[in-house]
Structure 1
C-alpha cells in the first residue's frame, strides 16, 4: 500500500486528499520506485484547477526522486537499488511508492542528493530545453539579451545561472525587490520589479532601444502584450506557462507589425518523447549541477500531509526557488 494525493474533481487546494492505494508489480517498460522526495510545480496547479483537463479521479505530481524497487520486462537502463529521478507523464508522483513508465526515469548521480533530485528534474529540464533547444533566428551567442519572466522561481533561478554560464545577458523580472535581488544573486545581468516598473520601458532602456532576441514567459496573460513589444525584429516569443492565466486569442497579423515575430508554445513533454532525448537532456543538466554552474535552491519543504498549504503558497507567489514535498 502507498499514500497518494488524489482529487475527484477540479477546484482549489481543498480538493486534494491523501488516499491509500494498492501498488502492484511493474509491467513491460515500467518500474516501481519508492520516493525519497517529490517536486512541486505549477503544472500540478493547472491540472488540479482544470486548466489542463485530465480524467478523474486524478493523482497529482510530475516529478520525484527515490530508489528503484523493481523493473519490468524490457527495462535495461535501470536496476533494483538504483538511485533515480524523473520528470514524467502520467501524473502521480505525490505518493510514497508508484509503478510508472521507465522511459523518462534517469539514474541520479551519486553527487546529487534526493532532495535536489526531486527539485531539479522538471524545472531543470525545462531550463535546458529553453536555453539550449528553443532558440531565435540565428541562435543565441554570448552577449545576447534575453528576457526571462518569473526569474526568482524554480525554473527562473536555474535559467539565471545557466544563462550566465552561457555568457547571455539575462534580464529577469519578478514581483518584489527581494525576488529581484535573488535573481541577480543567481546570475541575472539585469532585474526588473514589474510591480514598480514598466518592464517594457526598462527593457528598451537596458538594450539601447534594440530589444531582446527571445522572451521566455511562464506568466502568460499578464505579460503577453508587453513581452511582444520587448522583442527585436524576427525575435522569438517562447511561452511555456500560464501562471496568471492563459493568453487570450490574438490576431497573427500583429506579429508582422511588431517586427515579423516568431511565437512558440513549448512544453517539456514534447522534448522528452524518447529515452535518448531524455537522457541527453538529463546528462546536460547533471553536468551543469555537478560542475557547479547551476545550484538548485530549495526554499520550501512541506510534508506530504501539508500538500494543500504547499499549493496555496505556490499560487500566492509566496515561494522562491524550488519547493519539495517530503515523505
Structure 2
C-alpha cells in the first residue's frame, strides 16, 4: 500500500483526499516509480472539477507530471534499471501518489545534473506562445487560458495603454508592436529559439513576422485579418523550418450539435470557475453600431465590445 491523493467526487479542493491505495506490481513493459516530486498544473484542477474532461473511473488520482526513482521492473523491461531517475508527463494520469506504475515507454531519463523538483515542474509546462492583439476580446481570453495551462505567453498590443491589461491577463512579456519590432523582441525573449505557437488575428501586417517568430516545427494559427488580407504564402516559406499553418474557423468545430454544446459548456464553466475573466470594456447602444465599428477598426477598444438594444 502507498499513500495517494484520491478524488471520489468532483468539486473544490476539499475533494482531494489523502488515502491508502494498492498499486500492485509492474506488469509486462511497466516500471514502478517512487516519486520524489510531482508537478501541479491547472489541468489537474480541470479534472478535479470535471470542467475539461471527466476521469474514466471514480475514484481517481489526479496528476500528469512527476519525477522519481525506478524501484521495480516488470517483465520485458530492458531500457530502464532499478535506481534510474526518470520523469514522465501526460497519461496515464495519477502522479499525485508516493509511488506509481508507468509504462516503460512513457518515462524519460533525467540527467544527474537536474534536480528532481526541477524535472517535475517543466515537462508539462514550457510552451511559449505569441498572441497578437492580446488586449482584444479573443486575445484576452487566449492569454488567460494559455497562462492557466502553464504556457509562457508573449502578447502584442497596439498601444502602451493596453499593456497593463495584457499583463493582468497572463502575458509574461508584452510588446507594443506599433513602436518596436516584435520579431526582434521575440528573438531576444526566447534567446533566439522562437515560439511554439503564434495566434495571429491581425493578418497582413504581422503574418510574415509571425512566421519568423516560430521555432522549427512551430504552429502558425491565423484566425483573422484585421489589418487586411494576407498575401499568398508559398510552401517554401513553411518548408524552411517545417512549419505548420492553419486557418481555423470556429463554426467548423461546432457544426455538430453535440460539439457546440460541449464547447459552450467548457467555456461557460471556465468563466464560472474564474479561469477566464471576460472583459466587456465597451458597451454601445445598438443604434451606435457605426461608432463601435469605427472604434474597433481604429484600435480604440480593448477586451470585448457589445451592443445594447
TM-score, with structure 1 as normaliser: 0.56
Contact 1:162 / 1:294 at 8 angstroms: preserved in 2?
yes
Partner of 1:287: 269
Structure 1 ranges of 4+ moved more than 4 A: none
Which one of 148, 164, 167 corresponds to residue 131 of structure 2? 148
Per-residue CA distance 1:58-88 (angstroms, 9 max, x = gap): xxxxxxxxxxxxxxxxxxxxxxxxxxxxxxx
| Alpha-carbon offset, residue 209 of structure 1 | 1.0
Aligned partner (choices 178, 186, 190) of residue 195 of structure 1: 178
Between structure 1 and structure 2, the one with the greater Rg is 2
Alignment check: 8 A CA contact 1:141 1:168 kept: no
Structure 2 unpaired stretches of 5+: 1-122
Is 1:160 aligned to 2:143, yes or no? yes
SS in 2 for 1:301: strand
The 8 Å contact of residues 235 and 262 in structure 1, kept in 2 or not, is answered as: yes
The residue aligned with 1:233 is 216
- 1:141 Cα deviation from its structure 2 partner: 4.2
Does 2:246 correspond to 1:264?
yes
Q: Confirm or deny that 1:297 pairs with 2:292.
A: no
- C-alpha contact 1:216 1:238 (8 A) present in aligned 2: yes
The separation in 1 between residues aligned to 2:242 and 2:146, in whole angstroms, is 25
Q: Deviations over 1:2-45 (max 9, x none)?
A: xxxxxxxxxxxxxxxxxxxxxxxxxxxxxxxxxxxxxxxxxxxx
2:259 alignment counterpart: 277
Alignment of 1:37-56 (within 5 A): none
1:249 maps to 232
Separation in 2 of the partners of 1:141 and 1:238? 21
Are residue 324 (structure 1) and residue 277 (structure 2) matched? no
CA distance in 2, matches of 1:159, 1:196: 23
1:256-303 CA-partner distances (Å, limit 9, x unpaired): 12x011111111111111111111111111111000111111111111
Unmatched 5+ stretches in structure 1:
1-139
Deviation at 1:199, TM superposition (A): 0.5
1:250 deviates by: 2.1
Of residues 135, 154, 157 in structure 2, which corresponds to 1:174?
157
> Alpha carbons of 1:186 and 1:322: their partners in 2 closer, same or farther (altered >3 Å)?
same
Aligned-residue CA RMSD (Å):
1.2
Structure scoring higher RCO (CA < 8 A, sep ≥ 6) equals 1
Counterpart Cα distance in 1 of 2:246 and 2:153: 19
Distance 1:250 1:296 in 2: 34
- Structure 2 distance, partners of 1:255, 1:307, is 40
2:294 alignment counterpart: 312
- Aligned with residue 204 of structure 1, among 181, 187, 195: 187
May I ask how many residue pairs the two structures share in their alignment? 187
1:143 CA displacement: 1.9
